[in-house]
Structure 1
Amino acid sequence: MAETTVDNGVPPGEEEESAADSFFDLDQDSKAGDISQKLESLERENKEMKERITTLKIEVEGSEEDKKLFDSIAARAVELETEVARLQHDLITAMSEGEEATHEVTELKKAIAEKVEKLDSVEKEVDAVKKEKAESEKKVRELERKVGLLEVKEIEEKSKKLRVEEEMREKIDEKDREIIVLKRRVDELVSELDKCKFEKKSVEETLILSEKKSKEMEFLILQLQREVEEAQKVITGLKEKTLDGFNGTDRDVQLSVGAQDMRFNWQLPAVAVAAAAASAGVVYACYARRR
């Protein structure tokens, strides 16, 4: 990952591994180089001593001082050989330690490689977690947006519901007032109906009485008509028996009887019509109030 790299572009695991390699390689090379240099120097010095000994053996075989010098040089050569042997042993030891260090470096490299592999796996898991987190945050934002829209819609629905409830309450109050008015009207109509029933009953009783009186009048009229007919018959007979000298008197009598008959005939229908008109007026007034 970009944030786990250093300025030179080398991952931390590889940098650590490279540093370990450099450390062990430098240490090993430094020890081996020092020993090799000392060994080469001693070998050169030993070679020079041997050559000098050989030369001195040739030049000073008979001299006692030369012999002492030769012994001194020989002793120095032995010391140098001993030093060379020691240095060779140190070189072998250093090389053995270098091999052990190399083995340790190999093990460290292997451990570092495993750590780097685990680190890569962890980085991949971190990337996956970050990706999932980004997707989750995106989903959360989307859900928050939807929740906001739902809250706005819920507020609008509540406001609409309140308006509808207010309108319904107003309509219900108006209907209640109308019902009260209608109940009052119904009570008035019931009262008028009772009154009309009472008036109708009175009118019916009046009609019954009127019909009864009408029948009585009809009977009386028929009776009177029969009497008139009988009177007319009598008058006609009297006319036939009357003399010519009494014509004027006969005409006066006829006119008088005819006038009385006409007045009587007009009075009877007028009474019946007046009774019927009164009954019809009462019935009409009753039904007009009901409308």
Structure 2
Amino acid sequence: MRISKPSIRNAALLALMGAATAALAQDAAPDARSGSGRQSTADQGQISMDRLKNAVARAKDTGGRMPDPQLPRTDNPADRRRAFEGLRERVPMPEMEARARAAQAKGEANLAAERERQAKALRQALGLEPAEEQALAKSAPAVAAKGWVPVLFVSSSMPIPTLRSYAAQLERAHGVMAFRGVPGGLKRMGPMAKLTAQILRLDPGCEGPNCVMRDVQLIVDPIVFRQHGITQVPALAMLPGDPTQAYCERDDDSPRAAHVVFGDSALSGMLEEYARLGGKEEVSHAQALLLAR
């Protein structure tokens, strides 16, 4: 059979057209896949936005509070058993445990340092630095075994000028000022520290840690109040031994004064009244100290 040139040209043209069609199909396929991917991403974004809108709407319905997350609860013994078995099979990590212990120790140390810093700032604001507190403790009246110490019973409700005047007189007589309790309760020592500073500062207008303090011991002792039946203040008693001993280290049978003098008068007058009641020997040393200066 004779093949003509036109037939050959037509066959070649058809082959070229087929190749072009296949190439266009291949180029169109990635575009189609890409468009499908873009459409899927857009759908997922829209779903997320819808969930967010629904959550905001629920929050508004509940007054702006989102419900607390709840862990799934199960009463199935098999589930609980699997959970505990998983905990037992946990691979120990000494490095992580060591880091956790170190972080805990560091946190406790930082907390202790912060507490000490705040306490120091409070003492500085009130003029009661540790060095001054130790000096006050060392300046407590030296009491002989058979001596008597004047103890003035007072209250935080008394006027500050009156307490300051008594502190000046007790400093000369080597006496002690006693309170039944702490203003604001034992859990709040700040008010008592402030009251102590107001009473003992030589200069009432002085502020800060450099203020000069009187050489007088202040104690908080509800037992000594109960022992002597103190129901009103000021009151004076001559206590044998060391009245500054912590009341938690004493009992109701500890030594007590033979007499108690009540009345808002000068310390010298109260000592005279104590001597008149029969305590002349007890007050002789304190009276000599008052007259010596």
TM bucket, shorter chain: under 0.3
Larger Rg: 1
**Could you tell me the TM-score, scaled by structure 2's length?**
0.24
Higher strand share: 2
Higher helix share: 1
The structure showing larger relative contact order (alpha-carbon pairs under 8 Å, at least 6 residues apart) is: 1
**Could you tell me the TM-score, scaled by structure 1's length?**
0.25
